[in-house]
Structure 1
């Protein structure tokens, strides 16, 4: 079947939670709280973009984007993640399609840019790069990356939603 990318619906929520937990179960560099982060973002009304990848009746991927705060007051920046793909479907391009659709959604919203914490070798293909002037305290600089969608990358410290502190 063909994988369809679409916005999440309320009936997808339990499957998103289960999928996210499974996707990060054996991942390196995880707190195993990603499913709770997505739930907390949704509960706080902070999911700016939430897309699912569906193959037939099976939910096989999910991506979340939420607003981030920049210390210089620049508005319109978002954080990408978590991105989850069912373990049996990883390596098939589903994550990449989710990222592309999510970035298209941000462009449609006239977003200024997007940041993420992830593998630079993977996210470079979408235009993300480490930007020394844009900082997320406490993480290795090479893994914190940005993509300007409108205007320059600001010089600022980034703060994610408190939902990223969610635990079980």
Structure 2
């Protein structure tokens, strides 16, 4: 069952996200802190969980992004976390599809994602040379356009994405 997160889910989402990214390549292992910071800032546009028999199997977050040309209505997909036990079983794909469907239904102009082109391409994401995320290889930054004028320029994620851990954590 995919549903919006409930307040009581926050600790389980934190643990799920931490564990899902523990051995992942291309990460600084702060995804669980990013989700916490987005939630604390009221910047989780969508936060969905996949639950089975009371156990959270996966989570996806969407938050607003800014585009330097002033275009509004754009969002960033991620972090996306799936319990190690359920990876490769369609949980992540189901969460992405549900999140994009709900986001589009809310009238979003588009969505960006930083991730594996082969994976996100199946959902319609494509490299758009008019949208840039500084400091990353362009083939890993992709966009999905829905409505309104095409956006163009530098994309910036919410400041929560700059979090580097919490005081006293093992993730400075």
**Runs of at least 5 residues in structure 1 that lack an aligned partner in the other structure:** none
Query: 3-state SS of the aligned residue for 1:17?
Result: helix
Distance across 1 between alignment mates of 2:42 and 2:148? 27
1:55 is aligned, of 47, 52, 57, to 52
Normalising by the residue count of structure 2, what TM-score does the alignment of the two structures yield? 0.94
Distance across 2 between alignment mates of 1:55 and 1:153? 39
Query: 3-state SS of the aligned residue for 1:145?
Result: strand
Alignment of 1:7-86 (within 5 A): 7-86=4-83
Alpha-carbon distance, 1:138 to partner: 0.4
In terms of mean alpha carbon deviation, does 147-156 or 121-130 score higher?
147-156
The reply on whether 1:110 has 2:110 as its aligned counterpart is no
Which residue of structure 2 lines up, in the alignment, with residue 92 of structure 1? 89
| Per-residue CA distance 1:79-137 (angstroms, 9 max, x = gap) | 00000000010000000000001001111110000001000000001000111110000
Q: CA RMSD in A?
A: 0.7
Contact kept, 8 Å, 1:134 with 1:153, in 2: the verdict is no
Query: 3-state SS of the aligned residue for 1:128?
Result: coil
Give the count of matched residue pairs.
165
The reply on whether 1:161 has 2:158 as its aligned counterpart is yes
